[in-house]
A and B are shown apart, each in its own frame.
Chain A
């Protein structure tokens, strides 16, 4: 009864294709926004920030990105970790000032350094660099499909991690091989570095999350999104109705990698602060994000959020109950997490390939008719 669409009429086509056609959904969306922007920043503390909110927000962006590629365009990628690394390392270079080495007149190499770029734009630029790298590794998608492509993206994963391990320029020749985020501010408030306020980093990431979600939603509801979905559902038919498969796939790789790159940049600069590439962006990260979108729902922006929330919350909950309450050792909790996640992936693929988002939709369908289903 209380969730209904009766009396909600679309009288124009734009109204019909808006994001939340049902008024109730629209109000709920505004409510979430208000809470996220006006309530959470005042009550958030460091534990909630680092254990839940930052990883949730940042992984949401990565999940949106990967969902565009896998859920909307049907190209499975196992290279997410590698692309996040590209975002992280290019963000690092931009925020510390990109140095260029040129041959001087006397044959000596001379270092020129560009000025450091504001962290906000560093993150955006990092996304753009990642988009370019994504396109490069997306090129084979024209020739190879399905799990062949999935395995091919492993090449990106392993190569990129190796590259950032060996390429000293990428980590400014630091002896440890790590990258450390210096203190940087946005609009006069520090958002990276050791001494940041919880609300500041939270709002900074939230801004990117909302932006990503809106951009992704707009792209997927228009003609670009239809091209991607056409390629996903039947690539041959898509080509025959006039979709250029190379451009469609590469644009999906570009957009997807952009978001993944932004996510990697935030993951490094705002969340971790210091990164060693193999540890932070190994193949496990690729799987983590892939699992998020499988559990959350392939081809759904909302599902990306749901999946990210689930995969962030699960280990926290397990840790709190098993380690905190029952006093079990931590590694045991970690193993149990593996078992649960693995089993859930299989269960979701068998029972509900569209993930939590579909469960949510079904619940809404029921709720719409409740309490008079006939």
Chain B
């Protein structure tokens, strides 16, 4: 079993490290509705981990649990070998977890550059007094972070829209800006909630390439939710399959593809 080894090589030569994040017996309820029921899985350092499942399976809720937006009634979240106490989303972000959203959540009133710069906020520490005066510390910090942000902007090929207000951008570019904002934080773990939803084939190919490049060049661990099976199977190292809030499969793309429960969930078998 892969789960027991410390680290291993993927067929394409990347190294997957030890367990970075582990979800243990997570249960999340909204009133009487059970969104997630006793789910456990782990995310390893350096891998691309996909979460798939039909609509309403609880995938987004799971991502929201990871990013601290929802607090599960039962279960534990382990991060870097220790149990994570109940945290607010901004504290989670400061631990090095960044994410994108299913429905784009950019700051519409700001330019692309400013949006991406917000990704650096967790790293910018100058106090308010220093910033009010600006010269010296604040300006230096701003410039340093700007340089990092420009690298991300280059990487995602959005230089030409740097100063454009986000509200004016088409959908595909917005998705890319959102990814840029998350990357600017230099996260250890990147959560992508349907990064390719609503895109055409060409845009999907671009996005897939960016995701692979991010993983490859920065060694960023990625957990993503996606509906497009082809994309998921191509991109990910391991896949968790959810249905009605329960985990019905977990393993390599090939293992999952041949799992009878998964086939049933996707092709629809009478539940009895």
Q: Known contacts A223-B124, A241-B93, A242-B90: does B132 contact A218 (CB below 8 Å)?
A: yes
Q: Known contacts A229-B114, A241-B119: does B109 contact A14 (CB below 8 Å)?
A: no
| Complex interface: stretch among B46-54, B137-145, B196-204, B211-219 | B137-145
Interface residues of A in 220-259 (CB under 8 A from B): 222-224, 226-227, 229-230, 232-234, 236-245, 251, 255
Q: Known contacts A229-B109, A229-B114: does B128 contact A224 (CB below 8 Å)?
A: yes
Q: What does DSSP make chain B's interface, helix, strand, loop or mixed?
A: helix
Q: Please tell me if the beta carbons of B109 and A13 are within 8 angstroms of each other in the complex.
A: no
How distant is the Cα of A223 from the Cα of B146 in the complex, in angstroms?
A: 11
B-side contacts of A227, CB under 8 Å: 118, 121
What is the minimal beta-carbon distance from B152 to any residue of chain A, in angstroms? 14
A-side contacts of B94, CB under 8 Å: 242
Q: Please tell me if the beta carbons of B118 and A222 are within 8 angstroms of each other in the complex.
A: no
Closest chain B residue, CB of each to CB of A245 = B90
Q: Please tell me if the beta carbons of B105 and A223 are within 8 angstroms of each other in the complex.
A: no
A-side contacts of B147, CB under 8 Å: 13
Q: Please tell me if the beta carbons of A236 and B105 are within 8 angstroms of each other in the complex.
A: yes
How distant is the Cα of A222 from the Cα of B148 in the complex, in angstroms?
A: 15
Interface residues of B in 101-122 (CB under 8 A from A): 101, 105-110, 114, 117-122
Closest chain A residue, CB of each to CB of B141 = A223
A-side contacts of B110, CB under 8 Å: 226, 229-230, 233
Q: Please tell me if the beta carbons of B89 and A13 are within 8 angstroms of each other in the complex.
A: no
Q: Please tell me if the beta carbons of A234 and B146 are within 8 angstroms of each other in the complex.
A: no
Contact partner of B101 (CB less than 8 A), chosen from A14, A237, A251, is: A237
Q: Known contacts A242-B122, A243-B90: does B128 contact A232 (CB below 8 Å)?
A: no
How distant is the Cα of A316 from the Cα of B24 in the complex, in angstroms?
A: 70
How distant is the Cα of A118 from the Cα of B105 in the complex, in angstroms?
A: 49
A17 at the interface (CB under 8 A from B): yes
Q: Please tell me if the beta carbons of A242 and B142 are within 8 angstroms of each other in the complex.
A: no
Q: Please tell me if the beta carbons of B139 and A240 are within 8 angstroms of each other in the complex.
A: no
Q: Please tell me if the beta carbons of B90 and A226 are within 8 angstroms of each other in the complex.
A: no
Taking residues whose C-beta sits less than 8 angstroms from the other chain, chain B's interface range is 35 or more
Q: Please tell me if the beta carbons of B119 and A223 are within 8 angstroms of each other in the complex.
A: no
Q: Please tell me if the beta carbons of B90 and A233 are within 8 angstroms of each other in the complex.
A: no
A-B contact count (CB 8 A): 109
B247 at the interface (CB under 8 A from A): no
What is the minimal beta-carbon distance from B95 to any residue of chain A, in angstroms? 9
Q: Please tell me if the beta carbons of A237 and B107 are within 8 angstroms of each other in the complex.
A: yes
A299 at the interface (CB under 8 A from B): yes
Q: Known contacts A222-B131, A222-B134, A236-B105: does B142 contact A241 (CB below 8 Å)?
A: no
How distant is the Cα of A239 from the Cα of B142 in the complex, in angstroms?
A: 21
Taking residues whose C-beta sits less than 8 angstroms from the other chain, chain A's interface range is 20 to 34
Q: Please tell me if the beta carbons of A226 and B121 are within 8 angstroms of each other in the complex.
A: yes
Q: Please tell me if the beta carbons of B131 and A219 are within 8 angstroms of each other in the complex.
A: yes
How distant is the Cα of A237 from the Cα of B143 in the complex, in angstroms?
A: 24
B98 at the interface (CB under 8 A from A): yes
Contact partner of A241 (CB less than 8 A), chosen from B124, B141, B143, B181, is: B181
B-side contacts of A332, CB under 8 Å: none
Q: Known contacts A229-B110, A241-B119, A299-B109: does B146 contact A13 (CB below 8 Å)?
A: yes
Q: Please tell me if the beta carbons of A226 and B126 are within 8 angstroms of each other in the complex.
A: no
Q: Please tell me if the beta carbons of B114 and A233 are within 8 angstroms of each other in the complex.
A: no
Contact partner of A242 (CB less than 8 A), chosen from B114, B121, B128, is: B121
What is the minimal beta-carbon distance from A143 to any residue of chain B, in angstroms? 14
How distant is the Cα of A234 from the Cα of B114 in the complex, in angstroms?
A: 14
Q: Please tell me if the beta carbons of A233 and B108 are within 8 angstroms of each other in the complex.
A: yes
Contact partner of B128 (CB less than 8 A), chosen from A219, A229, A244, is: A219
How distant is the Cα of A146 from the Cα of B133 in the complex, in angstroms?
A: 31
How distant is the Cα of A244 from the Cα of B91 in the complex, in angstroms?
A: 8
Q: Known contacts A223-B142, A241-B118, A241-B185: does B105 contact A255 (CB below 8 Å)?
A: no
Q: Please tell me if the beta carbons of B128 and A239 are within 8 angstroms of each other in the complex.
A: no
Closest chain A residue, CB of each to CB of B184 = A241
B210 at the interface (CB under 8 A from A): no
Closest chain A residue, CB of each to CB of B138 = A222
Interface residues of B in 56-114 (CB under 8 A from A): 67-69, 88-90, 92-94, 98-99, 101, 105-110, 114
What is the minimal beta-carbon distance from B141 to any residue of chain A, in angstroms? 8
A-B contact list, 6 entries, CB within 8 Å: A17-B142, A215-B132, A232-B107, A237-B106, A240-B89, A299-B109
If A17-B142, A233-B109, A240-B69 are given as contacts, then 14 extra A-B residue pairs at C-beta distance below 8 Å, sorted by A number, are A12-B143, A13-B142, A215-B132, A218-B133, A218-B134, A219-B132, A223-B131, A230-B121, A236-B69, A238-B107, A240-B67, A241-B98, A241-B121, A244-B88
Chain A positions within 8 Å of B, measured between CB atoms, are: 12-14, 16-17, 215, 218-219, 222-224, 226-227, 229-230, 232-234, 236-245, 251, 255, 299
Q: Which 7 A/B pairs are nearest by Cβ-Cβ distance?
A: A242-B93, A233-B107, A237-B105, A242-B122, A218-B134, A223-B124, A13-B146
